Structure 1
């Protein structure tokens, strides 16, 4: 599963060329920030789970 500050990979890459995102807020909605350009996107938890490919790095690692 995923937690706050985990690095995740989404199914589609971001237009900046990076496909690494950091989870910066969790609740009913999940806010993720692109590690390449810093763009922030807010998704519903259902939409986030649908678009999530895999967790790249856990926050406590």
Structure 2
């Protein structure tokens, strides 16, 4: 999981709060902000956070 970006989601009816932690950075979790709770916003989030060679791992 060395090249993994962990994405934490706190899901509410209209908004999703997003936090990001990089593998290899112990304890470093950064609040990324909020997005709308709709498929388009989630797709854009994946595009912004995705990088070649990086695996995105989501939890909620």
TM range (shorter): 0.3 to 0.5
Greater share of strand: 2
Q: Under a length normalisation based on structure 2, what TM-score does the superposition of the two structures give?
A: 0.41
Q: Which has the larger radius of gyration?
A: 2
Q: Under a length normalisation based on structure 1, what TM-score does the superposition of the two structures give?
A: 0.41
Greater share of helix: 2
